[in-house]
A and B are shown apart, each in its own frame.
Chain A
Amino acid sequence: MAWVNAIIQGILIGGLYALFACGLSLMFGVMKVVNLAHGDLAVVGGYVAVGVIAVTHVPVLASFLIVVPLMAILGYVLQRTVIQTALNRSILTTLLVTFGLSVVIENGLLQFINAGSHSLGVGNSIITGSFKVNSQIQLAYLLLLIFGVAVVVLLGLQYFLSRSKYGRMIRAVADDQEAAQLSGINYRHVFGIAAAIAFGTAALAGIAYGMYTQFSPTTGTDTILLFAFAAVVIGGLGSLWGTLVGGIVLGVAQQIGAQISASDQLLAGYIVFLAVLVVRPQGLVARGART
């Protein structure tokens, strides 16, 4: 029964990993940018939430209503300035620039906030409770909520990409920038919109992570970015639902590893990640899910 519990917990935590990963996957799918600052931006989202809550006293659960739009605007602006400038030179330059961005954010947080941990406590509400299935299996409401949010975000993204005018334009630009320009589309603006969405999901991921556990300035690179990468690669680059599949596989592997020995938790996840890279480098859900 302990193994069943490990698998169930792994599936639930996979929702959080999907939230980490979907923005990374979207930016790669649309503009071929691997945003190495993605995890740090999620952490920035968490810190912004801490600040917003301290100043406005909005409930933790409602903080995303302010934080997500703020981060989306930041995403649009950064894409149209720093990242686009890098893209104009080469795809490779974007790796250097987003890596630089990551270093700047991390050290900025260390400098202007502190190295300590923050979390977004929801207090004694129903969210912190759990639901007992039997003596061995407990489902935390918070993890269920995060999993639900991840599914809603992915459904929303899929609906937006497949049905809306801007979603169609994003897919067209991802297919062929030049042909899109010939149809009157300013691809830089479309890239900005894609980045805004990606940063918005990163902010959600940061808030969810802060509610689940605690973050510090280095969490972005040492946890969120790595897990996001693993989830994206396991699921399949550029595939939206692949991020959920990848997140779940990563989560289950980690929980099973932890079941063997607490120190094997991360190792087990990365072993599965490497195994997928070797056996099925295109990922478990290869293409198709994006449309």
Chain B
Amino acid sequence: MTVNGTPLLEVGELTVHHGQLKALDRVSFRVFLGEVYALIGANGAGKSTLLRTIAGLHHPTEGTIRYDGKDVTGLRPERRATAGIVMVPEGRRLFPSLTLEENLQVGASYARAGEWTIERVYELFPWMRERRRQRTEQMSGGEQQSVAIGRALVANPRILLLDELSLGLAPVVVQRIYAMLPQILGTGLTVVLVEQDVSQALRVASHIHCLLEGRTTLQGTPADATAAEVEAAYFGLATAGEDLWPGSTPSSRAS
């Protein structure tokens, strides 16, 4: 697969520390327009740290994050959001004292121009319209996750960062939320997602990136990977840092 032009998001040699602990060790990857880039890995592999660093919530000790050709490594989270990098955080993190609609309105406070509006979110999730005056506290986990996605969409992001969408949700609810993904992608969005559930990630992703203890153990397309290879990278059975498919690295995609 060949994609021309500059990458929309380019993470270069990113190292992040949590105090003494090295959470990420020289992780690099590129994401091109329209891709669904999945970060997979076991608990504590550094996936969420990587996503939160891209959103600006953690500061890297070394390395750069380039967005649309510009260095955004030092930019505050709110500036990245208004520039078009918007995250759906782990655990939803809705505003509990606000109603559903107010949550969406906050998401749209500094929205970029684009086709996503609160009305459009109601079309995507029709149940929301009737319940827009309710607080989100009493809603189910799946409903809250949908509100969190809606709150991110109304900002009209170019890159949507999805952190552990399936966390704490019943499998059938997870299926339903992921079924929405094509409709969201149809609007020209690029997605970087963190997913604990590898089979789910392999189903939706155009590229996968496996982390183990902060290092990259595998990068490529789901079609290239056998279950055994993914398993090896996930649990660290292969040599750490080895690229299993040299022919499909991000750099070759760009050429």
Do the two chains bind?
Answer: yes
Say whether A178 contacts B95, CB under 8 Å: no
Does the CB pair A171–B98 fall under 8 Å?
A: yes
B215 to chain A, nearest CB (A): 27
We find that the number of chain A residues with CB closer than 8 angstroms to chain B is 20
Does any Cβ of B come within 8 Å of A183's Cβ? yes
Q: In the complex, are the beta carbons of B57 and A178 less than 8 A apart?
A: yes
A184 touches B98 (CB 8 A): no
A64–B78 alpha-carbon span in the complex (Å): 35
Interface residues of B in 76-133 (CB under 8 A from A): 76-78, 81-82, 86-87, 89, 93-98, 102, 105-107, 109-111
Contact B78 A169 (CB under 8 A): no
Residues of chain B lying within 8 A (CB to CB) of residue A290: 97
Q: Which of B135-159 contact A (CB under 8 A)?
A: 151-152, 155
Q: Closest chain A residue to B96 by CB distance?
A: A175
CB nearest neighbor in A for B77: A181
Would you give 7 A-B contacts (Cβ < 8 Å), ordered by A? A165-B105, A168-B105, A169-B109, A172-B102, A175-B98, A178-B57, A291-B97
| A185 contact set on B, CB distance < 8 A | 78, 106, 109-110
The 8 Å CB contact of A179, one of B82, B89, B97, B111, is B89
Q: Is B55 an interface residue (CB 8 A)?
A: yes
A186 touches B78 (CB 8 A): yes
- Residue interface mask A94-111, B partner, CB < 8 A = 1: 000000000000000000
Beta-carbon contact of A182 and B95 below 8 Å? no
- Could you tell me the distance in whole angstroms from the C-beta of B56 to the nearest C-beta in chain A? 8
Contact present for B89 and A182 (CB under 8 Å): yes
**Of all chain A residues, which has the CB nearest B110?**
A184
Chain B residues contacting A178 (CB-CB under 8 Å) are 57, 77, 89, 93
Chain A residues whose C-beta falls within 8 Å of the C-beta of B105 in the assembled complex: 165, 168
What residues of B have a CB within 8 angstroms of the CB of A179 in the complex? 89, 93-95
Contacts A171-B95, A176-B95, A178-B89: A184 and B102 contacting too (C-beta < 8 A)?
Answer: no
Q: Is the interface of A mostly helix, strand, loop or mixed?
A: helix
A180 interfacial by beta-carbon distance below 8 Å: yes
CA A169 – CA B98 in complex, angstroms? 10
Nearest 7 A-B pairs (CB), nearest first?
A184-B110, A184-B81, A179-B93, A175-B95, A181-B77, A184-B82, A172-B106
With A182-B87, A186-B78: A168-B102 Cβ-Cβ less than 8 Å: yes
Please name 11 further chain A to chain B contacts, defined as beta carbons within 8 Å, in addition to the given A179-B93, A183-B151, A184-B111, sorted by A numbering.
A168-B109, A169-B109, A171-B102, A176-B95, A179-B94, A181-B76, A183-B81, A183-B106, A183-B110, A186-B76, A187-B78
The answer to whether A175 and B78 touch across the interface, beta carbons within 8 angstroms, is no
The docked-state distance in angstroms from the alpha carbon of A178 to that of B80 is 13
Binding site for A on B (CB under 8 A): 55-57, 76-78, 81-82, 86-87, 89, 93-98, 102, 105-107, 109-111, 151-152, 155
Assess whether B97 is in contact with A169, with CB atoms less than 8 Å apart: no
Chain A neighbourhood of B95, CB < 8 A: 171-172, 175-176, 179-180
Give residues 127-177 of A contacting B (CB, 8 Å). 165, 168-169, 171-172, 174-176
- A182→B77 contact, CB < 8 A: yes
CB closest residue in chain A, given B106 = A172
Give the chain A neighbours of B109 by CB distance below 8 A.
165, 168-169, 183-185
A174-224 residues at the B interface, CB under 8 angstroms: 174-176, 178-187
Distance, CA A171 to CA B106, complexed state (A): 10
A116 CB, nearest partner CB in chain B, Å: 46
Is there an interface contact between B97 and A182, defined as CB atoms closer than 8 Å? no
CA–CA, A191 and B158, complex, Å: 28
Instruction: Tell me which residues from 261 to 291 in chain A have a Cβ below 8 Å from any Cβ of chain B.
Output: 290-291
Contacts A168-B102, A178-B57 given; indicate if A183 touches B107 (C-beta within 8 A).
Answer: yes
| CB-nearest residue of chain A to B95 | A175
Smallest CB separation, A172 vs chain B (Å): 5
Q: Name the CB-closest residue of B to A182.
A: B87
Bound complex: CA A45 to CA B151 (Å):
41
| Chain A CB within 10 Å, residue with most, of B76, B78, B89 | B78
Most chain B CB atoms below 10 A, which of A169, A180, A187 = A180
Chain B residues within 8 Å of A172, by CB: 95, 98, 102, 106
Contact A183 B102 (CB under 8 A): no
| B111 CB, min distance to chain A CBs, angstroms | 8
Chain B CB count within 10 A is highest, among A174, A180, A182, for A182
Report Cα–Cα, A187/B57, bound state, in Å.
14
Q: How far is the CA of A185 from the CA of B151 in the complex (A)?
A: 13
Q: Which of A165, A176, A178, A183 has the most CB of B within 10 A?
A: A183
User: B96: which A residues are within 8 A, CB to CB?
Assistant: 175
Query: Is the Cβ of A180 less than 8 Å from the Cβ of B106?
Result: yes
CA distance A179 to B106 in the complex (A): 10
The 8 Å CB contact of A168, one of B56, B82, B86, B98, is: B98
- On chain B, the residues within 8 Å of A187 by CB distance are 78
